[in-house]
Amino acid sequence: MRIVVLIKQVPDTTEVRIDRETNTLIREGVPSIVNPFDMYALEEGLRMREAAGEGTVTVMSMGPPQVEVALREALSLGVDDAVLLSDRAFAGSDTWSTSYTLAAGIRRLGEVDVILCGKQAIDGDTAQVGPGVARLLGIPQVAYVKALTLEGATCTAERMMEDGHDVLRVPLPALFTVVKDINEPRLPSLKGKMKAKKAQITVWGAADLDVDPVELGLDGSPTRVMKIFAPELKAGGVVFEGETSETVPRLVEELLPVLRGETQ
Amino acid sequence: MSCFLTEEQQMLKDLCAQIAREKILPVREELDESGEFPWEIVRVFAESDICGVYIPEEYGGFGGGAMEMCVATEELSRVCGGISLSFAATALGTYPILLFGSEEQKKKYLPPIAAGEKLAAFALTEANAGSDAGAIETTAVLDGDEYILNGTKQWITNGGEAETYTVVARTKKGVGIRGISCLIVEKDTPGFTFGKKENKMGIRASATRELIFQDCRVPKANLLGREGMGFMVAMKTFDHSRPGVAAQAVGIAQGALDEAVKYARHREQFGQPVASFQGLQFMLADMATQVEAARAIVHQAARIVDSGEKNLAKISAMAKLFASDVAMSVTTDAVQVLGGYGYMKEYPVEKMMRDAKITQIYEGTNQIQRAVIASQLIKESAAKEKRGE
Amino acid sequence: MTCSASRAAGPRSTDSGEYRVSSIEVVQDRCVGCGLCVSACLYDAIEMVDGLAVINDNCTLCGACVDACKFDAIVLRQAQHDAVSLDEYRGVWVVAEQRNGELNDVSFELLGKGRELADELETELSAVLLGSSIAGMADELIHRGADRVHVVDDPALLNFLDEPYANVVAELITRHKPEIVLTGATVLGRSLIPRVAVQVKTGLTADCTGLAIEDGGRQLLQTRPAFGGNIMATIICPNHRPQMSTVRHKVMSALDADTSRTGEVVDETIDPGLLTSRVEFVEFVKDLTQTVNIADADVIVSGGRGLGGPENFHLIEELAGAIGGAVGASRAAVDAGWIQYSHQVGQTGKTVQPKLYIACGISGAVQHLAGMQSAKVIVAINKDPDAPIFKVATFGIVGDVFEVLPALTRALKGSAAE
């Protein structure tokens, strides 16, 4: 059985700021991390392999050479091999071109049974690449999966809905995007880290994949970012200090109009 | 600050830092309050291959030495000096086997410890034998193929939780320390029970118990080395484990220092961060310098141990003495820097101060450490003179 | 995500001539070695070598450096492509969502916004409705602003399954060529629409908080938060149609139902081959423990580590009850086992946009803020005056939650709250 987990290396979004004066992104030692939701996908892939007693887990990512760090992190958890899709031509991809390129990468791997992704990436927050890849590969998909059980050539998936969950039976091959509820990701082991350090990562560029250059990167992206700007600062910011008998009435005075729906 | 660690040591450090941050940090306050043993964390150590860092590969370990043990212990202790003990005290209980065990003994006892399946504990201290280790009264009388143990050990770290105990007992009366031996005793051996769990000032997430031996029969094969070697086993064990205690102290001190600097940057009084006041700056500078020096001597001691050097007593004692005194001083200063907030349990520094104190006491009080160092100095001087230097 | 920062004044050094492939270049004669570009680069792709900027392989062509440079020394060349005949596409669509015979509120909100967009474009607003035995709902969509409803009513669509739903929506788009398609950013929407976007090969922007038509044109300007809400980005889809966006609940406003409105209902016929699904729907299991989905709530009262323990959460519940709000929690409280994960607000919990969010005993770690900073009014109650939550709070009280909460509850109970 072959399981592929798609991961993305993202800047730690909690550290990204915008300089209000120049309207440019400030990157001061913003660390790069594996997208947190992808850690759950990796864990699920490893658990599926353990439950099945056989099979391999391959981690794949698209990005610049520094993404190798993220792939080695995945390897240190026990993933069997890693593939990096990296090429100047992929630069500037939006979710369409990313889905297109990843789908080509998966096709090159050959027969794949299960593809796992995190629900969304914390930098783009779009949650689009998973379903995009599924459509391009022509396979079924279930998103927002909170439980996954492998039963031979099918999977039973629980899809988290707003007020409960749907239970679905999915024939393989299929793609699943997972939510945090699904498992508790493991920590790497020392042996895993040692192995990861020495592991060979396969790198494929545009020439190694069956792709039409026109679909790649910035040029292949239907969407463009026109501008970025800082979010509005909240007006007000009044803090009351002192005795509860004084502060609470003042807060109540401010809140009553809000609760009555009188404020904009 | 680079400590010139090898790539593998750096990897170990990063992994321990990750474990400390993700698994230990969320529970340290609660476990300190309840005094519950951190089995969940031990499981994490096991899964991450941490338990065997100092155990040779042929027994399932990572093949590292004192340096690896110190790197791991320091990193874990930065977040909690109590939880890190489940790892560090196991090392203390394992060293007798590592250093003096026969092949069969090592093959039997080391793999489960390396895998994190079993913990270990070292049992020397008794009610009447603390610093005066030679005054132990627990006896081990040979009866055919077994030793019969009788006596009570006090304040044993990991007592009750560990499976493997290296126990120091008197096998021969009337010959002083030459009548002491060390044996391996397994939990659940008939006649081996535990006393109450101690209610401690600090390192509360560790278990400290009495061990009670009442006609406890232990196979002769469990004797480490030969009869009469017990005192030497204990001293050599300490030579190896003292850098580990020192590393624990450095970790606690570093954790406290980090909290103090962070706090001082945010806390504003008189219209500015308190970190801008020279009085506090000087305190923090002194604290940081002390911690750096402590780390340096700990690493020095660890590297000397790993070099295969036989004369370890002095450097190990120095590292333990210096680092533990630094830990006590730095944590006390850290509470001072945080002021009123430092005294409150919501902030972690009061716990760090409570945790630091024991490092000046166990594995040989700092007074004993000084005695050891002085005794070594005198010996060395006499030897130099004899050689005509 | 490609990102380009714009500045208040000055042209971009973007060369939009005839290029097959996009590229970026440092014009060495203009580079003074100031290093502003290095600071602006999110991807560590620029280094200073001998006093000149050099762009390496980490570059994603995002263009942030182009604008950071005050000397116009970096030029981004964007390749032009044949656009699809954009003029063939007309009309604003909303993909409505229904489950078990009920239309989702977000559909009405999208119709409200869609109406505004359609009016500005002087075109029609249509809704798309999929399901089984749903004919009755079409009228409601018209009352809420739609001029037309495309209905696909088939037993195969009784339950939401990604393949048939995506096939149907894609087919309808191909058939009718709308220029804009809006969908709710619900589980259904976010599962379905990305697949559709790829199927019809167009651009999709998720979780938009702002939608507007560009001045003097027909292009849709889609604004959304990125990087956990730390920055806002405006996205366009210049060369592909339809322009697709998903929008979260409670971001747009619905129009009141106007029962006098009339419109057209079109029963679409779909090739049965498109309605098959490889995935089988087994059952829906309702979550009985969750009484209110906090993501829908207008008012949320949240508790954090400052509450000390699960036994104190009643203070939160009482205040919430007094003002008709839902109970939320920080990750610290959930991880400590004081309250269930379904109440967790934050980066790895739920993102909420209530009108009022009261954070009690919550320090305001960035991961928590990411889940609630878009609330209209934020109130913080914390005994630590330096807690970061006060930086985003509209109102705050520095005080003991155990004193403040009961007092607040007493004062608000009985007031015209709701």
Interface check for A69 against chain C (CB to CB < 8 A): the answer is: no
Q: What sign results for the dihedral spanned by CA atoms B237, B243, B249, B252?
A: negative
Residue ranges of chain A with per-residue pLDDT less than 50:
264
Q: Residue type for C115, please?
A: R
Does C22 sit within 8 Å of A218, measured CB to CB?
yes
Same structural domain for residues C90 and C113?
yes
* Cα angle B260, B261, B266; round to 5: 100
Which of B26, B30, B266 is the closest to C386 by Cβ?
B266
- Residue B23 DSSP label: I
Same structural domain for residues C73 and C90?
no
Distance set, CA C384 to CA A86, C388, C399, C400 (Å): 47, 9, 8, 9
Does C237 sit within 8 Å of A222, measured CB to CB?
yes
Does B53 sit within 8 Å of A187, measured CB to CB?
no
Same structural domain for residues C268 and C331?
no
Active-site residues of B: which are they? 363
Q: Which of C49, C77, C105 is the last residue of a domain?
A: C77
* Residues of chain A with a CB closer than 8 angstroms to some CB in chain B: 186-194, 197
Q: What sign results for the dihedral spanned by CA atoms B370, B374, B379, B380?
A: positive
Instruction: Answer yes or no: pTM beyond 0.95.
Output: no
Dihedral angle at the C-alpha atoms of C280, C283, C287, C293, nearest 10 degrees?
Answer: 50
Cα separation of A125 and C227, whole Å? 8
Does A228 sit within 8 Å of C231, measured CB to CB?
yes
Measured between CA atoms, how close is A149 to chain B, in angstroms?
A: 24
Does A16 sit within 8 Å of C370, measured CB to CB?
no
Which of C279, C293, C408 is the closest to A248 by Cβ?
C408
Q: With helix as H, strand as E and coil as C, how does chain C read?
A: CCCCCCCCCCCCCEECCCCCCCEEEECCCCCCCCCHHHHHCCCCCEEEECCEEEECCCCCCCCHHHHHCCCCCEEEECCCCCCCCHHHCCCEEEECCEECCEECHHHHHHHHHHHHHHHHHCCCEEEEEEECCCCCHHHHHHHCCCCEEEEEECHHHCCCCHHHHHHHHHHHHHHHCCCEEEEECCHHHHHHHHHHHHHCCCCEEEEECEEEECCCCCCEEEEEEEHHHCEEEEEECCCCCCEEEEECCCCCCCCCCCCCCCCEEEECCCCHHHHCCCCEEEEEEECCCCCCCHHHCCEEEEECHHHCCHHHHHHHHHHHHHHCCEEEECHHHHHCCCCCHHHEECCCCECCCCCEEEEECCCCCHHHHHHHCCCCEEEEEECCCCCCHHHHCCEEEECCHHHHHHHHHHHHCCCCCC
Interface check for C336 against chain A (CB to CB < 8 A): the answer is: no
Residue B326's nearest CA partner among B360, B283, B284 is B360
Distance set, CA C77 to CA A205, C19, C35, C40, C124 (Å): 22, 7, 21, 19, 37
Cα separation of B270 and A255, whole Å? 32
C336 CB neighbours in chain B (<8 A) are 26, 30
Measured between CA atoms, how close is B205 to chain C, in angstroms?
A: 17
DSSP states along A45-112: HHHHHHHHT--EEEEEEESSGGGHHHHHHHHHTT-SEEEEE--GGGTT--HHHHHHHHHHHHHHH---
Q: Is residue C288 part of a domain?
A: no
Q: pLDDT, tens digit, for every residue of A97-155?
A: 899 999 999 999 999 999 999 988 877 777 889 999 999 999 999 999 999 999 989 99
Same structural domain for residues C182 and C98?
yes
Q: Which of C248, C275, C302 is the last residue of a domain?
A: C275
First to last CA, chain B: 39
For residue B1, the model assigns a pLDDT of: 53
Which subunits count as partners of chain C given 3+ CB pairs below 8 Å? A, B
Q: Environment class of residue A198 by beta-carbon count within 10 Å: exposed (0-12), middle (13-18) or buried (19+)?
A: exposed
Distance set, CA B2 to CA B7, B9, B10, B296 (Å): 12, 12, 10, 11
> B337 by DSSP, 3-state: which?
helix
Same structural domain for residues C225 and C147?
yes
Q: What's the total number of domains in chain C? A: 3
Q: Is residue C73 part of a domain?
A: yes
B30 CB neighbours in chain C (<8 A) are 336
Chain B 257-296, residues with CB within 8 Å of chain C CB atoms? 266-268
Does B50 sit within 8 Å of A187, measured CB to CB?
no
Q: Is residue C124 part of a domain?
A: yes
Chain C residue closest to A222 (CA)? C203
C308 CB neighbours in chain B (<8 A) are none
Same structural domain for residues C219 and C351?
no
Same structural domain for residues C52 and C138?
no
Which of B15, B44, B53 is the closest to A193 by Cβ?
B15
Residue listed under structure tokens 């004797």: B223
Cβ count near C28 (within 10 Å): 10
Which of B11, B23, B44 is the closest to A193 by Cβ?
B11
Same structural domain for residues C229 and C334?
no
CATH number, residue C173: 3.40.50.620
| Sequence-distant (≥ 6) Cβ neighbours of residue A105 within 8 angstroms | A60, A62, A83, A85, A204, A209
Does C335 sit within 8 Å of B266, measured CB to CB?
no
Q: pLDDT, tens digit, for every residue of B99-138?
A: 999 999 999 999 999 999 999 999 999 999 999 988 999 9
CATH number, residue C63: 3.30.70.20
Does A186 sit within 8 Å of B18, measured CB to CB?
no
Interface check for C9 against chain A (CB to CB < 8 A): the answer is: no
Measured between CA atoms, how close is B72 to chain A, in angstroms?
A: 11
For residue A263, the model assigns a pLDDT of: 55
CATH number, residue C323: 3.40.50.1220
Is residue C255 within 8 A of residue C111, CB to CB? The reply is: yes
Q: Which two tokens stand for residue B338?
A: 């945080």
Measured between CA atoms, how close is A95 to chain B, in angstroms?
A: 32
Same structural domain for residues C331 and C407?
yes
* Cα angle C250, C157, C189; round to 5: 25
Q: Is residue C280 part of a domain?
A: no
Q: Which two tokens stand for residue B343?
A: 């005294």
ipTM score of complex: 0.86
Q: Which of C275, C309, C331 is the last residue of a domain?
A: C275
Distance set, CA A213 to CA B194, C53, C55, C61 (Å): 73, 28, 22, 16
Q: Environment class of residue B134 by beta-carbon count within 10 Å: exposed (0-12), middle (13-18) or buried (19+)?
A: middle
To the nearest whole number, what is the mean pLDDT of chain B? 95
Cα separation of A54 and C17, whole Å? 54
The residue of A187, A195, A241 whose CB has the most chain B CBs within 10 angstroms, and thus the best one to mutate to test that interface, is A187
The enclosing H or E element of A175 equals: strand A174-178
Cα separation of A30 and A17, whole Å? 10
Is residue C310 within 8 A of residue C303, CB to CB? The reply is: no
Residue A163's nearest CA partner among C94, C102, C313 is C102
Residues in chain C: 418
Residue listed under structure tokens 């005056």: C385
Q: pLDDT, tens digit, for every residue of B259-303?
A: 999 999 988 899 899 999 999 999 999 999 999 999 999 999 999
Chain A 87-126, residues with CB within 8 Å of chain C CB atoms? 88-89, 91-96, 99, 122-126
Same structural domain for residues C56 and C159?
no
Does C237 sit within 8 Å of A223, measured CB to CB?
yes
Q: Is residue C283 part of a domain?
A: no
Does C335 sit within 8 Å of B267, measured CB to CB?
no
Cα separation of C248 and C110, whole Å? 9
| Sequence-distant (≥ 6) Cβ neighbours of residue B34 within 8 angstroms | none
Q: Regarding beta strands B180-186 and B223-224, do their DSSP bridges make them parallel or antiparallel, or are they unpaired? A: antiparallel
All domains of chain A, ordered by start, with CATH? 2-220 (3.40.50.620)
For residue A171, the model assigns a pLDDT of: 97
The enclosing H or E element of A32 equals: strand A32-34
- Residue A15 DSSP label: G
Same structural domain for residues C47 and C100?
no
Residue listed under structure tokens 């150590």: B45
Does C377 sit within 8 Å of A263, measured CB to CB?
yes
Residue C357's nearest CA partner among C380, C389, C341, C333 is C380
Cα separation of A145 and A167, whole Å? 10
Q: Regarding beta strands B268-269 and B272-273, do their DSSP bridges make them parallel or antiparallel, or are they unpaired? A: antiparallel
Interface check for B346 against chain C (CB to CB < 8 A): the answer is: no
Is residue C214 within 8 A of residue C86, CB to CB? The reply is: no
- Residue B143 DSSP label: E
C194 CB neighbours in chain A (<8 A) are 95, 126-132, 135
Cis, bond preceding C164 (omega within 30 deg of 0): no
Domain range for C232 is 86-275
Same structural domain for residues C305 and C381?
yes
Distance set, CA C84 to CA A99, A215, C20, C89, C220 (Å): 21, 15, 17, 10, 16
Interface check for B341 against chain C (CB to CB < 8 A): the answer is: no
Q: Which two tokens stand for residue B20?
A: 């400390």
Q: Is residue C222 part of a domain?
A: yes
For residue C228, the model assigns a pLDDT of: 63
Measured between CA atoms, how close is C310 to chain A, in angstroms?
A: 21
B15 CB neighbours in chain A (<8 A) are 187-190, 193
The enclosing H or E element of B72 equals: helix B66-77
Does A224 sit within 8 Å of C397, measured CB to CB?
no
| Max CA pair span of chain C | 73
Interface check for B15 against chain A (CB to CB < 8 A): the answer is: yes
Q: Which residues pair with A4 in a beta bridge?
A: A58, A115
All domains of chain B, ordered by start, with CATH? 7-118 (1.10.540.10), 121-228 (2.40.110.10), 231-386 (1.20.140.10)
Residue ranges of chain C with per-residue pLDDT less than 50:
1-12, 416-418
Is residue C318 within 8 A of residue C358, CB to CB? The reply is: no
For the segment B144-162, the average pLDDT, to the nearest whole number, is 97
Instruction: Go through C358-376 and write b for each residue having 16 or more CB atoms within 10 A of its CB, e for each that does not.
Output: bbbbbbbbbbbbbbbbbbb
Measured between CA atoms, how close is A9 to chain B, in angstroms?
A: 18
Chain C residue closest to A241 (CA)? C398
